[in-house]
Amino acid sequence: MDLAGQELHVFASISSAAGTRNRAKALIGLAESNPNHADTLAACATVLLAAALEQAVKSVLSMAAETAAFDKDFPVSETEPALYHDATLWWRVQQLPSVLSEGRFRLQHNHKLTKALGELIKTRNKLVHVNEPAHHLIGPNDQIKIENGRVKVNIKQSLNPWGSVKLERAKTYEAAVGAYFSEVLFPESGQMKNGIIITARR
C-alpha cells in the first residue's frame, strides 16, 4: 500500500493512569506490612487511586472527543464527550459508559463497587480539602471558663482525616477502580460489554 501523498489522521492517547494505580497498589502492600502506619498509607493510596481514575477518565474522554469531532466533522468543543470537560469527576465516571457506547451501556448504580467509586471521590476530597475553620467564642460558658485567674478554652479538635481510611476500605477502592479500568476505560477486547459494574441498557 502506497501512502505517499495521503493525508493521515492518527489519534493517540498516552496516559500514565495505570502507573499511578500501580503506585496506589504498592502503598496498599506497604500498609499490609506496616500496621502502625496502615491508616496513613491507606489514605495516601486512596488519593492516588482517585488521581488514577481522574487521569484515565480525562484521557479517554479527550480521545472520544477528538474521534467524534473527526467522524462528524465538528469542532472538538461541540462533541458530546467534550460536554463533560468541566463536569465533576463523579458525574464523568457515571456518564462515561453511556458516552463511549453511544447509550448502549450504563454503570450499575446500585453495585457495591460503583458506590465505592463515589465514596472514593468523596474521601479523596476530604483528604485533600481539609476544612479547619477558626472559632470565635464568647463567654464565659462551657467552652470559656476563668479558673484560678486564667482563661481556660475548651475547643474540640477535628479528627485528622489522614488516619480515617482503613486498609480494607482502600482495598475496596482499588477493586472498584480496577473494575472501572477493565470494563469502561480499557476493556481487553477494546469493546464494552456486560460486566461486574457495567450493564447493557434495555
Residue pLDDT, tens place only, 111-169: 999 999 999 999 999 999 988 777 777 777 777 888 888 888 877 777 788 888 999 99
Answer whether residue 137 is part of any domain.
Answer: no
Alpha helices in the chain (DSSP H): 17-33, 38-72, 89-100, 112-128, 167-180
* Closest among 128, 107, 112, 108 to 46, alpha carbons compared: 128
Count of structural domains, the chain: 1
d(CA 175, CA 181): 10
Q: What is the pLDDT of residue 1?
A: 65
Give the cell for residue 159. 479528627
The label of the residue with cell 506497604 reads 30
Answer whether residue 25 is part of any domain.
Answer: yes
Answer whether residue 4 is part of any domain.
Answer: no
Which residues span the domain enclosing 120? 17-130+160-200
How many CA atoms lie less than 13 Å away from 182 in the CB half-sphere?
11
Answer whether residue 151 is part of any domain.
Answer: no
d(CA 177, CA 170): 11
Predicted TM-score of the model (pTM)? 0.85
d(CA 162, CA 123): 10
Give the cell for residue 120. 472514593
DSSP annotation of 156: P
Residue 90 and residue 119 in contact, taking contact as beta carbons nearer than 8 Å: no
For the stretch 13-41, pLDDT in tens is: 788 999 999 999 999 999 999 999 999 99
For the stretch 57-85, pLDDT in tens is: 999 888 888 888 787 778 888 778 778 88
Answer whether residue 93 is part of any domain.
Answer: yes
d(CA 145, CA 154): 8
Answer whether residue 107 is part of any domain.
Answer: yes
Whole-angstrom CA distances from 90 to 16, 97, 200 are 20, 13, 20
Answer whether residue 108 is part of any domain.
Answer: yes
Answer whether residue 153 is part of any domain.
Answer: no
Contact residues for 120 (Cβ-Cβ < 8 A; gap 6+): 46, 49, 50, 53, 173, 176, 177
Give the cell for residue 88. 465533576
